[in-house]
Amino acid sequence: MQRPSGRKPEQLRDVRITRHYTRHAEGSVLVEFGDTKVLCNASVEADIPRFLRGKGSGWITAEYGMLPRSTGSRMGREAARGKQGGRTVEIQRLIGRSLRAAVDLKLLGEHQITIDCDVIQADGGTRTASITGACVALVDALRYMQREKMIDTDPLKNMVAAISVGIYNGVPVLDLDYPEDSNADTDMNLVMAEDGGMIEVQGTAEGAPFTEQQFAEMLALGKAGINELIALQKQALAE
């Protein structure tokens, strides 16, 4: 089995994490997984959603979008069509849930952090790149809040990262790019915390169902990939 990119089954693409990418956001990260490039901007807001008011707890939410020509053929602009598609909604809910698991919302106080993940260029794995980059932007926003004395204690519990794993030509492979993703039998997205805790496991078989054995292999592959990503996040945050 040969991956189209020549990578080994357990090999991530080149991952680059660039902090302070734009100047207005409290956290701004460009994350690149090979040719997939996502801009993750974290905005700190004093307002929180109505259902949380007066409960002394904060909130983290995410929005996701693809630039119309981030893809091989141009997609209609969601703002022009007047609604977000089902895939967009599904992804931004996943990003929000994943990041909320990284933070002690009580320690956040009555603040909301909104993370915008906008795909500049897509080549597979935009949701896992988004989560991985968004977590770094989130940390920068939390540091900003501490510097500005909006919070006293660091609410971060755990770094969180995400990776995709799939079965391509019968072999479990890590971090699928678009040519692999569009031909894989099974696609699994894994979100894990720094301490090995599992936050989200989404395995999907549009084609043939997968066996428990395959599932276990994908999980192991993903876990190793997450560990690499968390090391890269920490390195970027140390700079």
Binding residue ranges: 87, 125-127
User: Does 65 engage in binding with a second copy (CB under 8 A)?
Assistant: yes
Least distance from a second copy to the Cβ atom of residue 20, Å: 12
Task: Using alpha carbons, list the distances in angstroms from residue 41 to 18, 36, 112, 216, 233.
Answer: 12, 16, 13, 34, 16
User: Does 198 engage in binding with a second copy (CB under 8 A)?
Assistant: yes
Q: Considering only residues 6 through 35, tell me which ones interact with a second copy, judged by CB under 8 A.
A: 22-25, 28, 35
Cα gap 189→221, rounded to integer Å: 11
- Choosing from 15, 38, 99, 101, the residue that interacts with a second copy (CB under 8 A) is 101
CA atoms in the 13 A half-sphere facing the CB of 107: 13
Cα gap 104→157, rounded to integer Å: 6
The answer to whether the CB of 99 falls within 8 A of the CB of 200 is no
Residues β-bridged to residue 115: 42, 62
Cα gap 86→88, rounded to integer Å: 5
Least distance from a second copy to the Cβ atom of residue 86, Å: 4
Identify which range of 9-17, 50-58, 78-86, 146-154 contacts a second copy by CB under 8 A. 78-86
Identify which range of 3-11, 48-56, 119-127, 225-233 contacts a second copy by CB under 8 A. 119-127
Identify which range of 10-18, 49-57, 96-104, 161-169 contacts a second copy by CB under 8 A. 96-104
| Angle separating helix axes 86-100 and 126-147, nearest 10 degrees | 40
Identify which range of 9-17, 52-60, 113-121, 145-153 contacts a second copy by CB under 8 A. 113-121
Cα gap 132→112, rounded to integer Å: 19
Which spans of this chain sit near a second copy (rule: CB under 8 A)?
Answer: 22-25, 28, 35, 37, 39, 41, 43, 45, 63, 65, 67-74, 77-80, 82-84, 86-90, 92-93, 97, 100-101, 114, 116, 118, 120-122, 158, 188, 192-193, 195-212, 215, 219
